[in-house]
Structure 1
Amino acid sequence: MRRSIAILVVLLGGAMSTGVLAEGLTDYAIGVQPGCIVGRFDAKAPPVFEAAGYADLDRRRLITPRTQFLLASASKQFTALAAVLLAEKGKLRLDDPARRWLPEMAGAVGDATIEQLLHQTAGVRDHTTLLTLSGVERLGAVDRRATLAMMARLQRTNFLPGSRAQYSNGNYLLLSEIVARASGMPFERYLDQAIFQPLGMGDSFALPAVSRRPAEIAHGYRPLRAGGFGLADDRPATSGSGGVVTSMRDLARFDRDFHLGRTVWRPAVRAAMLRPGRLAGGETAVLPEFGTPYGAGLGLETRGDDLRVSHDGGAEGFVVEYARLVKARRGAAALCNRVDADPSALVEAALPAAQPAAASATAAPSTSPALPPTPFTDLAVIAGRYRSAELDATYVFRPKGEGFEVEITSPLTPSPIIDSWGALKRHGPAEFGTGPIRVVYETANGRATRLTLRFGRRVEGLVFDRVEDR
């Protein structure tokens, strides 16, 4: 049986010796399969790394501390840090209205400030969900200019800025564009000049920039039903909400500066990054997806007498987690190139800390139980062609079985995309849905004239008006 485990203790200066670390990696050490690397960081000691598995199955290239992984949503802390650094230099103010910097996107940002973008209280719709609703199947196929043009067509936010907290990639896409405009250079170049180069992070870059060491880039993989792994390498064509690529060696340097504050993470910068967001009424904003307050690109969680700051990330073939304990001055990260890995468990094992206090139970008001949704059968009422001006997309609903075949046409797709909306359920007198999609419809003369679509909480209030077939 061939074992592919690399167990390394690496000093920042480059010395290396063998050691033992994460038990959770042992399953990835057998045969040829993708895997993970775990890093444990301590401001008072050299970092410790352990890796198991392959970065490239075809080339039999093992994962090492120099292997470059896509961070996905864990990239948000780099976008936030870039904005805070610009604020420190007086290039922008965090209380600036976002539309001051993005006048053509006034509808997309409403009255939100830069600080509300940072803290996920702005209400900007999620651009990756909007791309999916436009028929886009691979994020890498749509560049920054086309994505921003889509955002410029939007006429509303999901909610009044400051009224609630809700995670949205759109907040951070637009934040990255503000960084680009305030710095006077492409976003990915500013990250390189302001963060990566000063910290000696030579393995790191933000898409669409390219790696200085392309032979070290990891491929992403997903398990196949028939066994083995399939390539899952779709990467966004732009950065901001995601798109940073880095190695565990570079994360160790980033982490060390976070705790020591010598180069980029100066005290005032760190304080701004760790300040929790607040709603318009002054109360701390708790991000539902995290269950904790959210700083600037970082989840904030009290663990005993310490503050744990963290963010995870997931893309087509990558899952990651990166966490730090502020008072203990320790951190840990797990970077995996397989979507069936559990980086959160690996980090929890590598960075033990007191568990958060259990929330006290609050008695719910007595209400009548909600009736279960029933099948939606008014397919003929909905059937037809609709257009969303905000998406610049056309949907054609054709009844099929218990649902619809939906043909989606937009400038972002080279040809129409056929989607299947099956097993539709009625959720109200004039509301139906499937999965995360909910549609409220208005009728006249027995036919729907307008559809208002919601996709989870990522996109709300997207209007489609009926248009007659040509």
Structure 2
Amino acid sequence: MSPVSNSFAASSPATETDQAIRAIISDKQHEIAPGCIVGTFKDGSAQKMIPQGYADIENRQPIDGDTQFYAASISKQFTALAAATLIAQGKLALDDDVRRYLPELPAYRAPVTVGMLMHHTSGIRDSLGLLRLAGMNDVGRASKEQALHLLFQQQGTDFAPGTAYRYSNGGYLLLAEIVERVSGLPFAEYARRAVFEPIGMKGAYFIDNNLRPGTFAHGYLPVGEGFAVRDTFPRFSGSGGLMLSMNDLARYEYDIDRGHKVWTPRIAKIMLTPGRYADGSLIDDGNGLSYGGGLHLGEKGGQYVVMHTGSAEALKHAYTRLPDQHLAFAILCNRGDWTASAKLRDVITASGVRYPGFPATMPTGTFYSEQLESRYRLAPEGDGLRVEMSSDLTARPTVQHFTPQDDGRYHDGSMSITPTDDPARILVGRGGIEGIALIRRDKDVTE
């Protein structure tokens, strides 16, 4: 297998899907602008790699497959993966008390385990939040030692360890420190030897105080008529810190799906087993999923999904894998005013794949509610619905536009339409009123 090279997009003829994806990541107001690169993967091989925009505006360096991005929280799965390799070797265990490796931590009201750090159930406070509370608004100036010192100074946890879920950059900074102490190597060096080198991720590395020479995407925010550089990300690793290109991600996808040099069945079990609270119940991340090894995972709308986002001030990323279909999608962006997860959702839809949780069916035709004495005409509109509502209360029909959401419904902002297993019946709701049934009236469709 040869992961997609930089020449893929240039040498392959653009399809309608390519054009649709490029439109999603294009800036129609600026000729010179930062942007994104999209990667789509099938059976572990890159199918498309579509870049748009500039990694370095000043030097007119375009984004390409080898452009390195500060990966932000996309890094967490690689920190967990490094820890998982030690667990697989028997050198570390998920139920180990972290004070065995980090005696600088206070003895909290209940032991914090390695698994709690990995699954965000430790109650360990957020390291970036602590730095900002200490007056360091630009965390890009902070050192690992300063961040660790603040964590070691905390005399309590946000909740009893193991009893709740709260996303914590501090927990992952401590996890990286444990990997370093157990392996006997600097964390960045251990990750290189145990993860990046075996997989063939030649350009990927964890930051250890300084960026390496090479082409990396500056982060940008819009200012006035142009863009200003905002490279305000930390120069240490664990919760973030990974520098990653889309070509590196292609090699990672191959190892997950087919190579298994690092992503072995044993490692996959560690990474993809959802965490549990101390009482044995499954973690709920608050968005309908659980959390495993640096990854949100679970079922949405009948599809098993693995995903994570990454966000710094001016860099936004999203990554979604659909294991049952052997599909994966990623977007890396170097502009802080775009929402990467929303753009990736549009990319997945443009690729002809139902976004996880999106309604499995699109109800169309004419429906009627006896309770509301109203008629609804539903027609496709892109990937959404155009709905024309009429009743004796209105002089003329009201038209509203609904888009699919990952709660399995269509929304227009204030009103929802929910498909059911019966194509002749849908449910509508608005303003706290849910579940009013609409029944299809086929005889009205041609009126």
Note whether the superposition's TM-score is higher than 0.5: yes
Contact 1:28-1:52 at 8 Å conserved across structures:
no
Q: CA deviation at 1:193?
A: 0.8
**CA distance in structure 1 between the partners assigned to 2:358 and 2:233 by the alignment:** 37
Partners of 1:119 and 1:291 lie apart in 2 by: 15
Q: Would the alpha carbon gap of residues 202 and 29 (structure 1) be closer, same or farther in structure 2, given more than 3 Å must change?
A: farther
- Tell me what 2:333 maps to: 336
Unaligned runs of 5+ residues in structure 2 are 360-447
What is the root-mean-square deviation in Å for CA atoms of aligned residues? 2.1
Question: Structure 1 292/346 Cα, relative in aligned 2: closer, same or farther at 3 Å?
Answer: same
Aligned amino acid, residue 150 of structure 1: L
CA contact (8 A) 2:255 2:263 kept: yes
Instruction: Determine which of 245, 258, 266 is the counterpart of 1:260.
Output: 258
- Secondary structure of the 1:130 match is helix
Contact 1:110 1:156 in 2 (8 A): no
What residue number does 1:248 align with?
A: 246
In structure 1, the residue matched to 2:37 is 37
2:241 paired with 1:215:
no
**Given the superposition, is the C-alpha separation of residues 45 and 176 from structure 1 closer, same or farther in structure 2, using an over 3 Å criterion?**
closer
Partners of 1:329 and 1:309 lie apart in 2 by 11
Aligned with 1:66: secondary structure? coil
CA shift for structure 1 position 156: 0.6
Q: Give the match for residue 369 of structure 2.
A: none
Equivalent residue for 2:354? 353
1:135 equivalent to 2:135? Answer yes
How far did residue 357 of structure 1 move?
A: 7.7
Contact 2:26 2:35 in 1 (8 A): no
Is the 2:35–2:333 Cα contact (8 Å) retained in structure 1? yes
Describe the shift of the 1:55–1:357 C-alpha distance in structure 2 as closer, same or farther (beyond 3 A).
closer
Alpha-carbon displacement from aligned partner over 1:158-207 (angstroms, at most 9, x marks no partner): 00011111111111011110111111111111111111111111111111
**In the alignment, what sits opposite 2:322?**
325
How much does 1:306 deviate? Answer: 3.4
Contact 1:99/1:110, CA 8 A, preserved across alignment: no
One-letter amino acid of the structure 1 residue matched with residue 313 of structure 2:
E
Q: Which residue of 2 aligns with 1:316?
A: 313
Contact 1:304 1:354 in 2 (8 A): no
Find out whether 1:232 has 2:230 as its counterpart: yes
Q: Is the 8 A contact 2:140 2:231 kept in 1?
A: no
Deviation at 1:76, TM superposition (A): 0.5
Q: CA deviation at 1:349?
A: 3.1
Deviation at residue 251 of structure 1 after TM alignment: 0.4
- For 1:345, give the aligned amino acid: A
TM-score, normalised relative to structure 2: 0.73
Change (3 A) 1:335 1:277: same
**Higher alpha-carbon deviation: 150-159 or 59-68:** 150-159
Deviations 1:381-427 (A, max 9, x none): xxxxxxxxxxxxxxxxxxxxxxxxxxxxxxxxxxxxxxxxxxxxxxx
- Alignment CA distance shift 1:260-1:74 (3 Å): same
User: What do the CA deviations read for 1:321-344 (whole angstroms, capped 9, x no partner)?
Assistant: 011111111111100000112221
- Shift of residue 117 of structure 1? 0.8
Letter in 1 for 2:207: L
CA contact (8 A) 2:209 2:236 kept: no
264, 268, 271: which is aligned to 1:273? 271
Superimposed CA distance per residue, residues 84-124 of structure 1 (whole angstroms, 9 cap, x where no aligned partner): 11000111111101111111113579511101111111100
The number of residues matched between the two structures is 346
Q: 1:241 and 1:266, CA in 2 relative to 1: closer, same or farther beyond 3 A?
A: same
Contact 1:47 1:252 in 2 (8 A): no
What SS does structure 1 have at the residue aligned with 2:69?
Answer: strand
**8 A contact 2:26–2:52 mirrored in 1:** yes
Aligned to 1:78: 78
- TM-score by length of structure 1 reads 0.70
2:48 partner SS: strand
Secondary structure of the residue aligned to 1:235 is coil
SS of aligned partner of 1:197: helix
- Pair 1:171 & 2:171 matched: yes
Correspondence 1:89 to 2:89: yes
Q: For 1:154 and 1:14, how far apart are their aligned partners in 2? A: 47
Q: Distance in 1 between matches of 2:293 and 2:329?
A: 19
Structure 1 79/28 Cα, relative in aligned 2: closer, same or farther at 3 Å? Answer: farther
**1:189 alignment partner, SS class:** helix
Shift in Å, 1:234: 1.3
Aligned partners of 1:107 and 1:152 also within 8 Å: no
Equivalent residue for 2:367?
A: none
Residue 350 of structure 1, CA deviation: 3.3
Cα shift readout 1:263-290 (whole Å, capped 9, x = no counterpart): 11001111111111111111111023x4
Q: 2:304 aligns with which of 288, 304, 307?
A: 307
Question: Is this contact kept in 2: 1:107–1:153, CA < 8 A?
Answer: no
1:179 partner SS: helix
Q: Which moved more, 1:18-27 or 1:90-99?
A: 18-27
Instruction: State the match for 1:196 in structure 2.
Output: 196
Q: Is there any run of 5+ residues in structure 1 with no aligned partner, and where?
A: 1-9, 359-470
Change (3 A) 1:166 1:90: same
